[in-house]
Chain A
């Protein structure tokens, strides 16, 4: 967020700025409530057997291990949504300066590379699945 008009001691200009911050506060509260709601949702979803649901939907028979993978995917999708909300709204990434985006693109590249290495190991080693 931009700095206030600190040099000009124009009270009207400052009031406008403070009003802008006030408008954001409502958004922060809504995001907080959404995050709490999705915490409950992710807990509830973890007790749903997605393996059984997928099995009946597609007329197959998924094992408990395969079913667990479906639950992992659902839980991680919810977690990514929550993390995205925190980053975009609380950390102001929805509207930031270009330099910060550049730093983060760089970071994203390397962290994805790191997880890509983990993925390679999947094909590399006689592991249990």
Chain B
């Protein structure tokens, strides 16, 4: 069932692209990834809208108040949250559903790639049996030529330089790691409260997911790594086209760039000035600075800073939230 409706059609489309692009499997992978990305673009837009709505709602003073009020009664808190969702017309699943729909597509794409790579005679035999009769000319091209640039797409990629013949540099794995990091940083919406659990979780995902993807790229066939890379770049471009990319998100990790004493005065600025303006144009966003400031605050005097931050945000957030909603 899964194979018939997902993997086999995907594999045949991939083989068809291979046949019309001069039998270059690297280009076929890239084009196939872009095609799937384009087809799932509406889902991604929905997902972004949904997560933005959720994020806006979390900045709502009523939401914060009920969190404080019912912090010891989770059931009541959930009920109140549902009421607020309904009142504001926010669907909490709006950002999850598109992701869930995309998930099988991504898995199918991944499986079709591994099928098409066919690195042994038995895998090639299996592949030849799922080629549609209409693509008889494609069957004659099997197994696919797996050379692309300096890589063999059927094996893990390593670049051997003339002056370093015994050490293969895993260029593709490194690039996948970097682009995964970039994508996750650029696409993570700014947290309403960086200290809450969900913000911490997404912060950790931003670190561990690139490492995981880099490791997979290091060990699996480079065709898979090429797909990861194409997918990452396409994701960043999609996000940029929607005007949602905030390049400053990449900067905060380098918080050693500013000496602590100088940060202190500016760190209060974002909080004080976080009226309506910061959210509107992404370019003028000061979210990154806020994160730096808050991190530094916690280092210097966590408790005092926390209390002050809470008071300040109570004072300032209403305006901000009204503007957002």
Is chain B found bound to chain A in the same assembly? Answer: no
Chain A positions near chain B (C-beta within 8 angstroms):
none
